[in-house]
Amino acid sequence: MELEFTSDQDALRDAIRAVLTNESPVTLARAVVGGGTGARDLWATEVGLGWPALTVPEVHGGIGLGMLEAAILAEELGRVIAPGPLLATVTQFVPVLAECGTDEQQARFLGAVAAGEIAGTLAIGAYDPSEAPASFTGGVLAGEVRGVIEGDTVDEIAIVVRTGSDVGVVVVPAADVAATPVRTIDGSRRLVHLHLDGVRVADDRVLGRASADGVRRALEHATVGLALEMVGTAQTIFDVTLDYAKHREQFGVPIGSFQAIKHKFADMLIALERARATGYFAALTIAEDDPRRASATSVAKAAAGDCQRLLGKEGIQILGGIGYTWEHDMHLYVKRMKSGETMFGSTGWHRARIADALGV
C-alpha cells in the first residue's frame, strides 16, 4: 500500500490551497457567523473550478478522481474553515449515490453535481444505518433527522430510512422538507433538523441499490472527510499559535523559547501528525477497498478527536487572554473542530467500535 502522494495530488493540493487562501479568508467565515451570505459566492467559485465534480465518475461528466483527492480537498477546506456545502456534496452526497443508486439515478444526480447544478448532503441521524430515525412506508416519510449538515443550503438531501427490517435511501428536494436551523457553537457551518412527517417521495427518487452495507461504505467516506477537515483546522491552529509564540515576548524573550511552551508544541505536533497519518491511511483503504477500511475509519475519527481536544486547549492557553476574545480568530477554528468531533460518531463512540472489533 503506497502512502506517498503523487505529483498530481501535490499539484491538486497546491491549487486548492491557493484558491481558498484568496476566496475563503477567515473574514468570510466570520461574516457567515454574523449572518452574511458570502458562502454562496464561494460555492459559485468552487463550481466554476469543477470541484464538486472531483470524485464523480467520468461517465457522468465528472473528473473521476477518488477518495484520496477528496481527502486532500477536505483538509484544505478545514484549513480555512470554509463555509458552504462543498464538503457535504463531495464526501456525503456523492458517495451515497455511488454506493446505492442505480445507473440511471447516478446519471441523473451525479451528472447534475458534476455540472454544478445541485449541491447535496446526507441525512442519517445515527452512525448505524439500522438505527436511522426516519422511516419510509408506502411512499411517505416519517420521523425527524437531527443535525444535517448544510441541510437548508443544498438542493437535494439523501435520507437514510428504515423500510421495515431493511435500510433504504431516498433523495428528496430540500425545498420539500421542513428544516429547522440549529444554533450551535460553530456558526460558520449550518446544521438543521429535518421534519419528515407526510413528505411523499416519487418512485424514481428511491435509490434502487440501497442496503445497510452500501450506506456504511458511504458513511466511511463522510467520516474520513470530516476527520481530515478537522486535521486541516488543527493545522491552522498550530500555525497561528506557533507564529504568536515566536513574536509574543515576556521577560524580554519570545515565549516560544520557554521549555514548557516547547513541550506543548511537541505534543501538539505529535497529535496533529498522528491524526493526519491515520486520516490518509483510512482514505487509502477506502480508495483501494481494503478490508480494513471500517476499522481505519474509526481510528482516523478517534485520532482527529484527540487532536482537536489537545490543540483547541493549548492553542487558546498559549495565546493567553487574547485567545478568549471575539476579536481574535482562534475561537472560530476551535469551534469548527469541536463541532466536527460530534458528527458521524464521537471519539468515544469510535473507540468503542474499535474495541468491539478487537473483541475487547
In a domain, 190, yes or no: no
- pLDDT band, residue 358 (cuts 50/70/90): confident
Domain-located, residue 277: yes
pLDDT in tens, 299-326: 999 999 999 999 999 999 999 888 888 8
Query: Considering the domain boundaries, does residue 336 fall inside one?
Result: yes
What local confidence, expressed as pLDDT, does residue 2 receive?
Answer: 65
Provide the mean pLDDT of the chain: 95
pLDDT of 36 reads 77
- DSSP-H helix ranges across the chain: 7-23, 26-33, 38-48, 67-79, 86-88, 94-100, 103-114, 212-247, 259-287, 293-319, 330-341, 347-358
DSSP letters for 126-155: SSSGGG-S-EEETTEEESEEEEEETTTTSS
Mean pLDDT of 209-221: 96
CATH number of the domain where residue 270 is located? 1.20.140.10
pLDDT at 188 > cutoff 80 = yes
Residue 345 lies in a domain: yes
For residue 115 the three cell numbers come to 455540472
Q: How many domains does the chain have?
A: 1
Domain extent, residue 222, equals 213-358
Assess if residue 245 is contained within a domain.
yes
Q: What is the pLDDT of residue 221?
A: 98
Provide the pLDDT for residue 25.
95
Question: Has residue 313 been placed in a domain?
Answer: yes
pLDDT, mean of residues 11-18: 97
1 has pLDDT over 70: no
The label of the residue with cell 486548492 reads 16
pLDDT confidence of residue 165: 80
Residue 347, in any domain of the structure: yes
Q: Is the pLDDT of residue 267 over 70?
A: yes
The band of 38, judged by pLDDT with boundaries at 50, 70 and 90, is confident
Q: Is residue 163 part of a domain?
A: no
